[in-house]
Amino acid sequence: MSTETLSTAHGENKVNYLNAAHGIKSWLLTKDHKRIAILYLWSIMLMFLFGGLLALFLRLELLGPGPDLIQAKTYNQLFTLHGAIMIFMFIIPSVPAILGNFALPIQIGAKDVAFPRLNLASWYFYIIGSGLAVYAILAGSVDTGWTFYTPYSTQTTGAVITMVFAIFILGFSSIFTGLNFIATIHKLRAPGITWYKMPLFVWGIYATGIIQVLATPVLGITLVLLILERAFGIGIFDPAMGGDPVLFQHFFWFYSHPAVYIMILPGMGIISELVSTFSHRKIFGFKPIAYSSIAIAFLSFGVWGHHMFVSGQSQYATLIFSFLTFLVAIPSGVKMFNWVSTMYKGAITFETPMLFTLSFFFTFAIGGLTGIFLGATAVDVHVTDTYFVVAHFHYVMMGGTIMAFFGGLYYWWPKIWGRMYNEAWGQASALLVFVGFNFTFFPMFIMGTQGMPRRYFLYPEKYQILQVLSTGGSWILGLGLLIMAAVLLHAIKWGKKAGKNPWGALTLEWMVDSPPPPHNFEQIPTIEFGPYDHDKVLVEPDRAGAVT
Amino acid sequence: MDTTGTFWMPEGSSTIAGDVDALFYFILWASVFFFLLIVGISVYFIIKYRKRADRPNATSQVAYDVKLEVVWTLVPIILVFIVFVWGFNTFMKLQVVPRDALEIKVTGRQWMWVFDYPNGSNSLNELVVPVNQPIKLLMSSDDVIHSFYVPQFRIKQDVVPNRYTITWFEAKRTGKFDLYCAEFCGKGHSEMLGTVRVVSSDEYASFLEGGPAGEAPSGQSLVAQGKQLYSNRQCITCHSVDGSANVGPTFRNLFGHEVTLSDGSTVTVDENYLRESILNPQAKVTQGFQPVMPTFQGLINDRQLDALVAYLKSLSEVEQVESEQVTAE
């Protein structure tokens, strides 16, 4: 910010956060939440590209039942990397660190987050963690699966310690982000933005922050114990050293199940924004949607044992975990019904973000409903650790979080860069992603119920037809993502200028310029209407850069 | 062996399968109903309330409806409660072993299954059980966590080192059923396959009388005994005798020949090399093959080793020439 100059004052170019300062240093030392969002954007998308290419390659290998391109050990390393990268380096930070960082402070009328330096530090922790993970791949790689189950993870060769340490560091990045948003939401809301005038995206990120702060330390502790066991032979999990391997699963899922909600809650927040904006209709059931996020955050801590119904844990534990698992399904269902009802008597338009929202309804409904099968203990015994589980969590994570993330990316893109993307190509990409996604993952449900175990390098020939369908789907999905990348990148340089409010949305970030000025607001904003008051206020979409 | 299953489920061949499937289909149809409801209503709204030129953007005020909210909260709660009780009830049937069950010990190890029968005999990768008889499996692992999974019986149970886990089933018909390892356990995970062979009780009795599988009746030549061991100790799964490469090197023309090891050194296959490779397979791995063979330490005695070595010798041309000379003399 130190190099702010007058050069930006001429002509139509107003000072915004992008042109307010120049040079690498102005980015690497920035404390502006919007610039940190951009830093996160490029680094996280790079990891997504990496994880995605791994997935495409794995699907290619699975085209035939035998060993086609690689050996078993390599296959095991690649699916481990795909999982670890996608979860710890892509999905967990994606929505909060990119879109949350960019939009949340503006949505509550703040100049920045509560702790701008901590915000920048979280990005450096992300970079160090991801860099270390890449180093671990080069230094022998890891073949444990992203779950690092003991005693396999203490006995196998490879750079397990480095990879686990990388994820330990990434955990701090996540904690910093969550902590920052909780403080920001509590302390920096502009006058008039009460809890019930706060956009639902902010509610979603708030609930996420609670889990990030409370659950991530447990992952950190677990990973440290794992490192101690592997490096110094201190027996904690490995029975050969007097440890208990199932204990690791309890510790691991105590974090990693709530982590599923770290991943989905921000996505649900985005969907709440998009469905209201593109239906031009007040959100139906603000409070149920808001409180269901909080309910999910708390219930999420009591369900970890549903990953362990066949692990040998006590039946009483299974009873309680199964019950709580069904309870946590309810708030998601409530949200779904409220979103769909929001479209009732609306004036629905079908820009790309809305297409992703509708995709989300379809795929997340399947993801949620198939969770019921897994919560039902007797059925879980048959389908757990099969492709059914793989399909289920891809429907929740990719069909849920990532669909919402893509929708959000298109939605806020004009705000981030001040330029519109090409709508027709955007819609085409959404359609391809939707079709490709379902072709890739729906066959896995059938393979799973038919008994195909997950993490199989070789597979019985009877599953080949479905495997081929799935691989074919992954190509359509890949094409959709390629087009999406092209559309978004093209928009940055060659897109038409976007106005303040291209969608006619009512949240605060659409009241400031696109791209926003360095400090978001010239003065403390006054609140004249709520974030979803489409029944009271009409804002015509503004794509020409004109002032409303 | 296979299958008269449905689109979703493989044939249910255990007594418990019907119960599990009934719940599965209840959830399936309830899910289909709710899915179609959500998607159907969405599609209806999309069409009916799409923005039209003749309609203003600002929308009429729709009152929030608390009754609706309560209904769509309570109805799913009731439904999932039914599924919860039903599911756990059936789960307990899967957990509680009938008293008259026949107990068989299962050991998982990287990467094979070992089954020990009550009379002291054992088998590898093939579990032989009588039909219409509850079978209790007492399971543990020698190394990492495995999972015993027979889709057609709808049973799965992790097999953990340093503790016993239990599952049970009662097969409804004779035949062969796929057994998978369902918990990731390393390089050989997807090859840790087995079979459950369900036979009549007479056949089961005679199987047990055969003694520990592979202890061939005495009186046979060592080569004949070795040939029998080759198939029932499951060497056959990975090693061919016709010269074709499989997971492991072929046994044809192996003995007496030089092989290159994974570290680039070479070794001539003799009796001691074979012995070491059976008891400690990771010690010297042939180049081009993965070190995935499990150890047979404790699963094979010295006499059986003699027999296997004799059989491998008989498959090698070098050795055959020599033995012919011996006979000629």
Tens of pLDDT, residues B188-244: 899 899 999 999 999 998 888 875 544 555 567 788 888 888 877 778 878 888 887
pLDDT for residue A6 is more than 50: no
Quickly count: other Cβ atoms within 10 Å of residue A522's Cβ. Answer: 9
Residue A459 near residue A58, CB atoms below 8 Å: no
pLDDT for residue A100 is more than 90: yes
Question: Taking Cα atoms as reference points, which of A46, A15, A18 lies closest to residue A30?
Answer: A18
Q: Which of A35-44, A223-232, B318-327 has the lowest mean pLDDT?
A: B318-327
- Check if A534 contacts B (Cβ < 8 Å): yes
CA distance B236 to chain A (A): 18
- With a CB cutoff of 8 Å and minimum separation 6, the contacts of A48 are A86, A90, A94
Q: B23, B49, B140, B167: best mutation site toward chain A, by most A Cβ within 10 Å?
A: B49
Sheet holding B135-141, edge to edge: B122-124, B112-116, B102-109, B135-141, B165-169
- Chain B contacts in chain A segment 39-68 (CB below 8 A): none
B57 falls in which pLDDT band (50, 70, 90)?
A: low
Q: Which of A58-72, B70-84, B284-298 has the lowest mean pLDDT?
A: B284-298
3-state DSSP assignment of residue B221: coil
CA distance A376 to chain B (A): 5
B83, B91, B161 ranked by CB distance to A245: nearest:
B161
Cβ density class A180-219: b for 16+ within 10 Å, e for less = bbbebbeebbbeebeeebbbbbbbbbbbbbbbbbbbbebb
Determine, for residues A311 and B160 on separate chains, whether the beta-carbon distance falls below 8 Å: yes
- Check if A280 contacts B (Cβ < 8 Å): yes
Cα separation values, A451 from A4, B8, B158, B314, Å? 62, 10, 16, 41
Quickly count: other Cβ atoms within 10 Å of residue B54's Cβ. Answer: 4
Determine, for residues A381 and B91 on separate chains, whether the beta-carbon distance falls below 8 Å: yes
Q: Percent of chain B beyond pLDDT 90?
A: 47
A391 falls in which pLDDT band (50, 70, 90)?
A: very high
Which chain A residues are closer than 8 Å to B178 by Cβ? 451, 460
pLDDT for residue A480 is more than 70: yes
Which chain A residues are closer than 8 Å to B92 by Cβ? 315
Q: What tokens were used for B85?
A: 């009780």
**A:B CB pairs within 8 Å:** 265
The larger pLDDT score, comparing residue A281 to residue B64, is at A281
Determine, for residues B24 and A382 on separate chains, whether the beta-carbon distance falls below 8 Å: yes
Query: Rounded to an integer, what distance in angstroms lies between the CA atom of residue B155 and that of residue A311?
Result: 13
Which chain B residues are closer than 8 Å to A319 by Cβ? 88
What pLDDT is stored for residue B59 in this prediction? 60
* Residue recorded with tokens 């038919």: A450
Mean pLDDT of A367-388: 95
Q: Is A466 left (phi over 0), alpha (psi -120 to 50) or beta?
A: alpha
Query: Rounded to an integer, what distance in angstroms lies between the CA atom of residue A442 and that of residue A438?
Result: 5
- Check if B197 contacts A (Cβ < 8 Å): no
Query: Rounded to an integer, what distance in angstroms lies between the CA atom of residue A136 and that of residue A148?
Result: 14
What pLDDT is stored for residue B281 in this prediction? 86
Residue B284 near residue B275, CB atoms below 8 Å: no
Average pLDDT, chain B: 86
Please list the residues that pair with B169 across neighbouring strands: B135
Q: Percent of chain B beyond pLDDT 70?
A: 90
CA distance B46 to chain A (A): 7
Q: B156, B178, B285: best mutation site toward chain A, by most A Cβ within 10 Å?
A: B156
Mean pLDDT of A438-463: 95
Q: Percent of chain A beyond pLDDT 90?
A: 76
Question: Taking Cα atoms as reference points, which of B32, B157, B41, B10 lies closest to residue A372?
Answer: B32
Query: Rounded to an integer, what distance in angstroms lies between the CA atom of residue A104 and that of residue A33?
Result: 9
Q: What is the pTM of this model?
A: 0.88
What pLDDT is stored for residue B211 in this prediction? 56
Average pLDDT, chain A: 91
Q: A68, A278, A379, A459: best mutation site toward chain B, by most B Cβ within 10 Å?
A: A379
CA distance B149 to chain A (A): 8
CA distance A424 to chain B (A): 18
Sheet holding B146-150, edge to edge: B126-130, B194-199, B175-181, B146-150, B155-159
For chain A, how many helices (H) and strands (E)? 18, 0
Among chain A residues, the shortest Cα distance to B140 is held by A312
Helix intervals (H) in B144-248: 201-209, 222-232
Among chain A residues, the shortest Cα distance to B189 is held by A456
Q: Which of A61-70, A408-417, A457-466, A535-544 has the lowest mean pLDDT?
A: A535-544
- With a CB cutoff of 8 Å and minimum separation 6, the contacts of A194 are none
Which chain B residues are closer than 8 Å to A307 by Cβ? none
- Chain B contacts in chain A segment 445-504 (CB below 8 A): 446, 449-451, 453-460, 462, 504
- Check if A307 contacts B (Cβ < 8 Å): no
pLDDT for residue B42 is more than 80: yes
pLDDT for residue B2 is more than 60: no
Determine, for residues B38 and A372 on separate chains, whether the beta-carbon distance falls below 8 Å: no
What pLDDT is stored for residue A544 in this prediction? 53
Q: What is the ipTM of this complex?
A: 0.89
Mean pLDDT of A153-178: 91
3-state DSSP assignment of residue B128: strand
Q: What tokens were used for B290?
A: 């993965």
What pLDDT is stored for residue A398 in this prediction? 95
What pLDDT is stored for residue B252 in this prediction? 86
3-state DSSP assignment of residue B197: strand
